């Protein structure tokens, strides 16, 4: 699915005989960047819908959602990010306006506004789209409770949108909870994508998340499965990070990506410029890692992970 031409040239540092840890790191980064330059990905046009979820706060869900989306767009994919978190952080990072008077995912979920009416283009790329969230979404968890088909609202809107606006990937950024917003994401998606922060409590709460996925599979969306786990904020200097990474890999050998995202100042700075790290500093370690992770995700896309849409209908049972 993608081709990597290995460069046989010597790195500048080894050519000059410099051998320090920093020189080695820089040489490694530039070799990885060159490898990425020769990657070519092909996209089938059937939307893969991934929901980036973890009820733990601050593990890198939003950072992962926007950077994987931007990285996929940089390889030629058309990508829609749905910001399903009232904090609106994904909308901020994609440089998309999301003040209280902006038409947003709230209007889609509560007032059945078509998704096409709220989708905006990120200034970063014309193939990077965002359905923004505003502060109004904070009330949606409660307002949804009394709505008809409350768990299916996002799925219906998305199916309608995709039947008229084909994209390669939909990436949903979830809030840190397992409430009705996240349930809507689980009902709309076929793949769950869990970012795990490489720290001591990493696996705590994960069984609750896996239990929720099983419940959704049984009652609302049989297509849903855990497809991808990405280790984030990895600090290679600590033994703890290595131990956490090993433990997660031993539990989920088929889902954890080989790529790990390093803890990087550039990654955390980018949103304050309304940018992803791919646009903010494409040569940084964080940007390179996110692009490598995107290549893995695109290459892991087996045909059965692609969504089938039959003229806007879903196969899910309605309540």
Does residue number 206 form part of the binding site for ligand ATP (CB under 6 A)? no
Does residue number 291 form part of the binding site for Mg ion (CB under 5 A)? no
Question: Under a CB-based contact definition with an 8 Å cutoff, are residues 122 and 129 in contact?
Answer: yes
Name, in order, each residue with C-beta under 8 angstroms of 202's C-beta and a sequence gap of 6 or more. Answer: 196, 244, 247, 248
Residue range at the interface with ligand ATP (CB under 6 A); choices 31-39, 70-78, 102-110, 263-271: 263-271
Residues 171-210 interacting with Mg ion (rule: CB under 5 A): none
d(CA 11, CA 26): 9
Which residue number, 162 or 172, has a Cβ lying nearer to ligand ATP? 172
d(CA 10, CA 37): 17
Which residue number, 89 or 127, has a Cβ lying nearer to ligand ATP? 89
> Site size for ligand ATP, by CB under 6 A?
18
Which residue number, 62 or 92, has a Cβ lying nearer to Mg ion? 62
Does residue number 263 form part of the binding site for ligand ATP (CB under 6 A)? yes
Does residue number 132 form part of the binding site for ligand ATP (CB under 6 A)? no
Does residue number 74 form part of the binding site for ligand ATP (CB under 6 A)? no
Does residue number 257 form part of the binding site for ligand ATP (CB under 6 A)? no
Name, in order, each residue with C-beta under 8 angstroms of 76's C-beta and a sequence gap of 6 or more. Answer: 41, 43, 127
The strand pairing partners of 193, in sequence order, are: 52, 228
117-122 LR contacts (CB < 8 Å, sep 24+): 119/80, 119/161, 119/165, 120/96, 122/70, 122/94, 122/95, 122/96
Instruction: Write down the residue that tokens 């950072």 correspond to.
Output: 63
Does residue number 185 form part of the binding site for ligand ATP (CB under 6 A)? no
Does residue number 57 form part of the binding site for ligand ATP (CB under 6 A)? yes
Which residue number, 30 or 87, has a Cβ lying nearer to Mg ion? 87
Residues 70-89 interacting with Mg ion (rule: CB under 5 A): 89
Q: Are strands 225-234 and 191-197 parallel, antiparallel or unpaired?
A: parallel
Residues 42-61 interacting with Mg ion (rule: CB under 5 A): 61
> Other CB atoms closer than 10 Å to residue 73's CB: what's the count?
24
Residues 119-148 interacting with Mg ion (rule: CB under 5 A): none
d(CA 287, CA 267): 8
Which residue number, 264 or 314, has a Cβ lying nearer to ligand ATP? 264
Single out the residue of 62, 64, 70, 227 in contact with Mg ion (rule: CB under 5 A). Answer: 62
Does residue number 60 form part of the binding site for ligand ATP (CB under 6 A)? yes
d(CA 143, CA 146): 6
Shortest Å, Cβ 111 to ligand ATP: 25
Cα–Cα distances in Å, from 92 out to 131, 177, 252?
Answer: 11, 20, 32
Which residue number, 255 or 264, has a Cβ lying nearer to ligand ATP? 264
Shortest Å, Cβ 67 to ligand ATP: 9
Helix/strand/coil for 244:
helix
> Site size for Mg ion, by CB under 5 A?
3
Shortest Å, Cβ 276 to ligand ATP: 11
> Site residues (CB under 5 A) for Mg ion?
61-62, 89
């Amino acid at each position: 699915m993608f081709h990597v031409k290995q460069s046989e040239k010597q790195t500048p540092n080894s050519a000059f005989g410099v051998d320090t840890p920093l020189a080695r790191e820089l040489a490694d980064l530039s070799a990885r960047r060159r490898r990425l330059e020769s990657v070519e990905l092909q996209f089938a046009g059937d939307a893969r819908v991934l929901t980036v979820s973890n009820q733990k706060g601050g593990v890198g869900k939003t950072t992962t959602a926007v950077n994987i989306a931007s990285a996929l767009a940089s390889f030629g994919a058309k990508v829609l990010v749905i910001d399903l978190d009232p904090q609106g952080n994904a909308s901020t990072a994609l440089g998309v306006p999301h003040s209280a008077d902006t038409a947003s995912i709230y209007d889609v979920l509560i007032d059945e506004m078509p998704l096409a009416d709220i989708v905006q283009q990120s200034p970063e790329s014309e193939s990077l789209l965002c359905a923004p969230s505003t502060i109004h979404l904070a009330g949606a968890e409660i307002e949804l409770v009394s709505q008809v088909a409350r768990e299916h609202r996002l799925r219906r809107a998305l199916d309608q949108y995709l039947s008229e606006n084909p994209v390669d990937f939909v990436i949903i950024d979830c809030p840190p909870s397992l409430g009705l917003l996240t349930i809507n994401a689980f009902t709309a998606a076929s793949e769950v994508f869990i970012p795990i922060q490489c720290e001591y409590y990493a696996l705590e709460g994960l069984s609750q998340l896996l239990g929720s996925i099983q419940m959704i599979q049984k009652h609302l969306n049989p297509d849903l499965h855990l497809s991808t786990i990405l280790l984030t904020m990895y600090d290679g200097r600590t033994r703890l990070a290595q131990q956490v990474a090993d433990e997660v890999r031993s539990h989920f050998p088929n889902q954890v990506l080989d790529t790990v995202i390093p803890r990087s100042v550039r990654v955390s700075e980018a949103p304050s410029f309304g940018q992803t790290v791919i646009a903010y500093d494409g040569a940084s370690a964080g940007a390179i890692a996110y692009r490598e992770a995107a290549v893995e995700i695109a290459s892991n896309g087996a045909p059965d992970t692609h969504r089938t849409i039959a003229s806007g209908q879903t196969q899910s049972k309605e309540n």
